[in-house]
Amino acid sequence: MLCQPSTCALTMLAPAKLNLFLRVVRKRADGFHDLETVMTSINLFDTLLFEPTDSSEVTLRVVMASSQNQNSLPPAPIPTDSSNLVIRAAQLLKEYAGSSAGVKITLVKRIPSAAGMGGGSSDAATTLAGLNRFWNLSRTREELSELASQLGSDIGFFLGGCSTAICRGRGELIEPLRIPTSLHFVVARPNSGLSTPAVFKQCRPNESGASVEEFAKSLQHPGNCRMVRLLLNDLQAPAESLNDDVKQLRQQFNKLPVLGHLMTGSGTSYFGVCASSRHAGMMAARLRAAGVPWVHVARSCS
Ligand code: ATP
């Protein structure tokens, strides 16, 4: 059946991401930091449902998905007002396109917030792409990318639709990467979250010469141990200085037979690289038994 945009509901998935490599290159005059990072999207998704309405308003309902995890309380509450990135993205697109259309949006949250997994950015990117279809606006990828850059740094990565990429600048310069096989992870998050600006305030540029290109090359052979030796996150030390839970997770991962481990983004989530989904499942069981409140077995999206 051909679905007429804005008369039929549209459902879209917004993936989480992990940063496998994150180097702080320099602090810029505008206060932001230039980064070199490799992001990969994983099979943990928020769901966005766009439904028609007679009104010209954009409305949002946020539903917390029930979780099998022991404690699914978010470390930071998800806003339901105009500060939610979903509403901000919808309003921005509506204004840009000069549209008087409305929409009823339901956001089902599964991605932990304030956890370095890019949930809000992914929701915003999915809203831009989803409403472009739902409202039949026919805006180009370039136009949507320009709007994305006004909303936040990681939104362009999710909008690009590539599963793995090198992102430079504030994160808006995106170079897609092809990786030969899925990567397997166990992801854990403590009950506490961290504010991204607070972590960036504590960080220093990395002058060690760590190379994102070299890391990207190592991803072409994910079975060998070079990739795990090159895992890097310059925000991990600042995050640990602000949050003991991250330090504790690192200590727990140190005792696990994973191939390598790292904090993602500005934290507080932490991941271990595993050899297979079975291996990741066994590591998840050990973390749950040790009382880690939120544990997820994931693989990179293809
Ligand atoms: P990043 O890795 O991009 O820095 P994050 O994963 O650490 O982000 P998010 O989950 O994106 O963090 O949310 C950070 C803050 O943004 C939350 O504390 C919340 O108040 C606000 N926020 C706005 N919109 C959303 C949304 N749709 N989902 C989650 N948080 C949102």
Q: How large is the average pLDDT for residues 53-69?
A: 87
Mutate to test the pocket of ligand 1, among 113, 201, 235 (most ligand atoms within 8 A of CB): 113
Ligand 1 center–CA 246 separation, angstroms: 18
Q: How large is the average pLDDT for residues 278-289?
A: 98
Residue 31 has pLDDT above 50, yes or no: yes
pLDDT at residue 77, as a whole number: 78
Of all atoms in ligand 1, which is nearest to the CA of residue 194?
A: 7
pLDDT at residue 74, as a whole number: 57
Q: How large is the average pLDDT for residues 113-126?
A: 96
The helix (H) or strand (E) run that includes residue 142 is: helix 141-151
Catalytic positions, please? 17, 154
Report the nearest-CA residue for atom 2 of ligand 1. 116
Q: Supply the mean pLDDT for the chain.
A: 93
The helix (H) or strand (E) run that includes residue 25 is: strand 10-27
Of all atoms in ligand 1, which is nearest to the CA of residue 76?
A: 18
Contact 105, 287 (CB under 8 A): no
Of all atoms in ligand 1, which is nearest to the CA of residue 153?
A: 3
C-beta 46 within 6 A of ligand 1: no
pTM (2 decimals)? Answer: 0.94
Question: pLDDT tens digits for 151-200?
Answer: 998 999 999 888 999 999 999 999 999 999 999 999 999 999 999 999 99
pLDDT at residue 3, as a whole number: 42
Q: Which domains does the chain have, with CATH numbers?
A: 2-176 (3.30.230.10), 184-299 (3.30.70.890)
Residues 6+ apart with CB under 8 A from 156: 125, 145, 148, 149, 167, 171, 172, 174
Helices 141-151 and 85-97, packing angle to 10 deg: 130
Contact 37, 169 (CB under 8 A): no
Residue 49 has pLDDT above 70, yes or no: yes
C-beta 78 within 6 A of ligand 1: yes
Residue 4 has pLDDT above 90, yes or no: no
Ligand 1 center–CA 113 separation, angstroms: 5
In degrees rounded to 5, what are phi and psi of residue 13? Answer: -105, 140
pLDDT at residue 209, as a whole number: 85
Question: pLDDT tens digits for 210-261?
Answer: 999 999 999 998 666 899 999 999 999 999 999 999 999 999 999 999 999 9
The helix (H) or strand (E) run that includes residue 85 is: helix 85-97
pLDDT at residue 210, as a whole number: 93
pLDDT at residue 1, as a whole number: 33
Predicted confidence band at 38 (pLDDT cuts at 50, 70, 90)? very high
Ligand 1 center–CA 167 separation, angstroms: 19
